[in-house]
Amino acid sequence: MEPTYLICLPFGGAGASFFKGWQEHVPEELTILPIQLPGREERFVETPHTDVARAVEEAYSWVLEQIDGSARVALFGHSLGAVLAYELAHRLSDAEGIRLTRLFVSGSPSPWNGRKERATGLGDDAFLAQLHRFTGYTHPALQDAMMRDLLLPMLRADVEMHENYRPSSDKPLSVPITAVRGRGDTLVDSAQISQWSEATTAGLSTGELDGGHMYLADDHAPLLRLIVTGMQTA
């Protein structure tokens, strides 16, 4: 049996540890493989990426090192992670030994329909207030002045990377896409989720789960059930 992987791309400000507990909630034959980008957690001292293409190139090389032999692979990304996952899907679709089965995107409009309002370039307080307005979520660490100063460069880099993103190709993927949002998400509505149909020739399925933009930070179990079901039907 081919090994099966779910490669997880981080949303803005997140590290690989966000996905640490997911392995306990999926079948044992599925391996959760979170990607750690520079500027966070054990890679804190490294300069974070501000360009999606550079981040995806690094992620692509790392994934090929982790997967030895043929494997079934799906990708998941939320918000910034959704566009990273989309670009990585393009790279992996032609990789030898990898059978890309599905792309799961969450809390994001399609690659050609990014948000028009920006936070890049604002002063610290205005920047954080804008992020809170966008997401309805503030990480507890940002309440501590010292931690805030440490995290701001990485957050700013992630936001710049997301807000300056433009798709590398207008060619749709040939794998199915599942697009998900929180029912209470005021940043991404159901019409924007449906726009992901433009990104694939293999069909789009959509889903809504309880919660706002950061619904997966409150309870990841419903999302994982949706992902596992989607992978079983791929």
Q: Answer yes or no: is 142 within a domain.
A: no
Q: Answer yes or no: is 49 within a domain.
A: yes
Determine the Cα angle at 55 with ends 158 and 207, to 5°: 70
Q: How far is CA 108 from CA 25, 115, 148, in A?
A: 24, 9, 25
Q: Answer yes or no: is 216 within a domain.
A: yes
Which CATH number belongs to the domain containing residue 173 in this structure? 3.40.50.1820
The number of folded domains in the chain is 1
Confirm if 91 and 61 have CB atoms less than 8 A apart. no
Find tokens 């981080």 and name the residue.
10
Find the helix or strand (DSSP H, E) in which 104 lies. strand 98-106
pLDDT tens digits along 29-84: 999 999 999 999 999 999 999 999 999 999 999 999 999 778 999 999 999 999 99
Find tokens 């995806």 and name the residue.
56
pLDDT tens digits along 181-202: 999 998 899 999 999 999 999 9
- How far is 16 from 19, CA to CA, in rounded Å? 6
Confirm if 86 and 103 have CB atoms less than 8 A apart. yes
Confirm if 151 and 179 have CB atoms less than 8 A apart. no
Q: Answer yes or no: is 132 within a domain.
A: no
Query: What range defines the domain where residue 103 resides?
Result: 4-114+166-232
Q: Answer yes or no: is 29 within a domain.
A: yes
Helix residue ranges, H only, the chain: 52-66, 80-92, 124-135, 145-163, 190-194, 215-218, 221-232
Instruction: Inform me whether the pLDDT recorded for 137 exceeds 80.
Output: no
Find tokens 């974070």 and name the residue.
48
Residue 103, SS3 per DSSP: strand
Q: Answer yes or no: is 71 within a domain.
A: yes
Reference 200, options 179, 224, 223; nearest CA is 179
Q: Answer yes or no: is 140 within a domain.
A: no
Instruction: Inform me whether the pLDDT recorded for 232 exceeds 90.
Output: no
Residue-level pLDDT at 114: 76
Reference 169, options 76, 87, 108; nearest CA is 87
**Nearby residues of 128 by Cβ (< 8 Å), 6 or more positions away:** 138, 142, 148
Considering the entire predicted model, what is its pTM? Answer: 0.93
pLDDT over 70 for what percent of the chain?
96
- The region of weakest confidence among 25-39, 92-106, 125-139 is 125-139
Q: Answer yes or no: is 133 within a domain.
A: no
